[in-house]
Amino acid sequence: MNLQQALRSRIDIRRSHQRFHTQISWLDSHHSFSFADHYDPQNTHHGLLLVSNDDLVRPEMGFRTHPHHDMEIVTWVLEGELEHKDSEGNVGILYPGLAQRMSAGTGIRHSEMNPMDDRDVHFIQMWVPPDTEHINPSYEQLDINGVLDRGGLIPIASGRGHEAAISIKQRGPGNPCRFPTPRTCISSLPRGVPNSKVLMCFNTAMPSVSWQPVRGD
């Protein structure tokens, strides 16, 4: 097997319609990996990434107060607004271009609600475990719209001190990034990191790509 064949063999294309799907009156959610009542032993995570949910929440509805512990949770709004409140006293309105990180640590309770009365909120949420368990809960949000305007592959959250990224308590190779289409970007995997993994999710169709990904792939 030559190098080109080896690289192709490591690419796993998951189509949008193949994702787990949860749909109730106020929530339309697609899960890239096993989540809640959905379970596939062959699809439980991708490297350190345990959860990647694509959520659409109806007006004035959302996830009411619930607990988390020992998890780094990154939220990225694509459309609309999302209101965050937690037991540490943090309150924030998330909107497109603002990255949010919540470190659950020893335990935190929070809610995520759509504060608008006339439109849905669409957001992506990713969970990774921390390097160290039982840390103090913490919260961070950062508007990076100015950086996004430059184009290219932009780190949204990083445990390695990337410029303009919110900080997560995980120094592993995984860093949620945002790549604004239709611009073109060339990037390389971290040097010296074995078994590096990349998860690419498409928010818009890209017909110029050979296998024609569509939104949600």
Number of structural domains (the chain) is 1
pTM: 0.80
Residue 30 lies in a domain: yes
d(CA 152, CA 145): 13
Residue 194 lies in a domain: no
Residue 210 lies in a domain: no
Asked if the model's pLDDT at residue 179 lies above 70, the reply is no
Residue 11 lies in a domain: no
User: Tokens at residue 18, please?
Assistant: 């193949």
Give, for 112, the enclosing helix (H) or strand (E). Answer: strand 108-113
Residues linked to residue 12 through DSSP beta bridges, in sequence order = none
Domain containing 43: what range?
A: 16-178
Residue 97 lies in a domain: yes
Residue 209 lies in a domain: no
Mean pLDDT along residues 103-112: 98
Q: What is the pLDDT of residues 118-172, one digit of tens each?
A: 999 999 999 999 999 999 999 999 998 888 887 777 788 888 777 767 888 887 7
Residue 217 lies in a domain: no
CATH of the domain at 59: 2.60.120.10
Sign of CA dihedral 42, 46, 50, 51: negative
